[in-house]
Amino acid sequence: MLVLGCSAGGFRMLLTMLKALPANLPVGVLVVIHRNANYETHLEANLAAKCRIVVKVAEDKEPIRPATAYFAPAGYHLLVEPDRSLSLDTSEPVHFCRPSIDVTMQSAADVYGASTVAILLSGANQDGAEGMESVRKVDGLCIVQHPRDAEVETMPAAAIRKGAVDLTLTNGELIILSQGLSNHIFRN
């Protein structure tokens, strides 16, 4: 399972990474972006035309499939169920956010354990740091965008301060990682 999270300033890098993912990606991708539920966007439809993997809004009770990016809908937390399907939740915001990166990363770590790869990009609050810590505790792989490359360094810097990061990568390294994602990075 690959989990990507970002907020302020992270969209451009997220788009670049999603476009670089190979069509034969052996895992599903959960994407959490902080966005306002009061504004309709066509983000997923616009991205779908530019990516080699399927890009869609996550639906409640939907099974997770490889080579598919599931975006958390605005106003909902995105969770992974034990049967590896998705669920949407309207519980309280975390760090003033719903969807919350922490909630999705923690849920993915609970189900996928050491097979979880979490990547945290630019953002203006600390959402994602606790989620990265959860992934790290189950021996998953935790990667952040280098704070100096992030438009807003707060999110990746918070995860680094928590000691919840295995790799701190530049924008160029994140793109190379995305292009080369294969069975080798994901443990069974």
Give the catalytic positions in this structure: 7, 34, 127
* 71 contacts 58 by C-beta, under 8 angstroms: yes
Instruction: Name the pairing type of β-strands 86-89 and 77-80.
Output: antiparallel
Rounded Cα–Cα distance for residues 49 and 46 (Å): 6
Rounded Cα–Cα distance for residues 161 and 54 (Å): 34
> Residue 177: what are its φ and ψ, rounded to 5°?
-60, -45
Residue type for position 133: E
Residue type for position 139: D
* 5 contacts 164 by C-beta, under 8 angstroms: no
168 DSSP β-pair partners: 144
Q: Which two tokens stand for residue 119?
A: 């990547």
